[in-house]
Amino acid sequence: MYEKNTMLHLFQNLEYEILSKKPTILGLIQFREGFISLKNYP
Q: What's the rounded Cα separation, in Å, for the pair 24 and 21?
A: 9
Q: Which residues of 1-37 are buried (b: 16+ CB within 10 A; e: fewer)?
A: eeeeeeeeebeebbeebeeeeeeeeebeebbeebeee
Q: What pLDDT does 21 receive?
A: 67
Range of the domain at 23: 2-40
**Per residue in 4-41, pLDDT tens?**
788 788 788 777 777 776 667 777 787 788 777 777 76
Q: What pLDDT does 33 receive?
A: 83
Q: What's the rounded Cα separation, in Å, for the pair 30 and 35?
A: 8
How many structural domains compose the chain? 1
